[in-house]
Structure 1
Amino acid sequence: MADVDSERWLVIDGRRWRRTDPSLPAELVAALKSHLGRGRSAVGAAKRRADDDAVAAARERVGLAKHGLGERGPYWWDEPEADRLARAEDALRRLDELDAG
């Protein structure tokens, strides 16, 4: 069971964090992680400006990226691979649409 747990969870300072779905294609993961990083950066910038609306919008982007990566939402290991891929592709499409304006 420890091997399965180590594939599903990353433990840092005693806290468990869900790992990225390993079945997702590398280029899809890279695109989602790029959005995730930019979203996290935007959260920090909005907090420094005390802009609550921008914080909320940036957190929404972070959440979308994390759902796409399988790090939030349904446990990826309980879902068919095709559903997981569709969720990731949908999240990336929605994030790209947010960038487009």
Structure 2
Amino acid sequence: MTGDPYPVTPDGRYFVVRGRLWRKTNPSLSEQERVALVADLMKARRARDRPGVDRAKRALGERGSVWWTDGAPDYNRRMARNTPYAEWFASTQA
């Protein structure tokens, strides 16, 4: 782990909550962009604005097209034990 409250995959693409992979924010966003998008996300969540939440999550890189460029598939929202991260995840549970 890297100070994150949840395990982060070795490639930095996902964090794991209750065994499920969740895509991390695109690390190429500037801090200013990230902060503004998180503010938009929180505002949309408070307003219960689902389309607004989806727009913000897509802009952050947490939904929609993947932010990595090596052609690796997306395992967002999948159980870690059912993905190529299974062995790594099992090792974090020891």
**Separation in 2, partners of 1:72, 1:27:** 20
Structure 1: 5+ residue stretches without partners: 44-57, 80-101
Aligned AA for 1:15?
R
Aligned to 2:77: none
| 1:75 aligns to 2:66 (yes or no) | yes
Aligned to 2:36: 31
SS at match of 1:10: strand
1:3 counterpart (10, 18, 31): 10
CA RMSD of aligned residues (A): 1.3
User: What does residue range 13-92 of structure 1 map to in structure 2 within 5 Å?
Assistant: 13-43=18-48, 58-78=49-69
| Residue deviations 1:54-76 (CA, integer Å, cap 9, x gap) | xxxx1010000000000000111
Residue identity (%): 42
What's the TM-score, normalizing by structure 1?
A: 0.58
Structure 2: 5+ residue stretches without partners: 1-8, 71-94
Provide runs of 4+ in structure 1 moved above 2 Å.
none
**Separation in 1, partners of 2:14, 2:20:** 10
Higher helix share: 1
Number of residue pairs aligned between Structure 1 and Structure 2: 62
What's the TM-score, normalizing by structure 2?
A: 0.62
